[in-house]
Amino acid sequence: MAAIVRHPEVKHATSFYPIAVEAAVVNALVGLGSGRKMQAVKPFARSANMALRTMYGEDLRPLALRLLEEATRTLETKVCSTV
């Protein structure tokens, strides 16, 4: 692993990047959901913006809003189906 960190030009290092970005966004979303307070929004926004800014060489930050909308829709469906 140290060789990958020291030599970022190695192809193996770039293959882990999308997985790391996805994990960062998922962790931020889980933190947002578990916080249940407005103070949890800023850390989510910061993490999602940082992670999605340069994913695949493109600015994918608009996906953060779609991610929140889908998570909200899914949670609303689950809550309504259990009542």
Instruction: Evaluate if residue 5 carries a pLDDT over 60.
Output: no
Tokens of 46: 């910061």
Tracing tokens 């940082």 back to the chain, one arrives at: 50
pLDDT tens across 21-59, in order? 888 888 888 887 776 677 778 888 888 888 888 777 888
Helix axes 41-52, 11-35, angle to 10 degrees: 160
Output the CA angle 65-76-82, nearest 5 degrees: 155
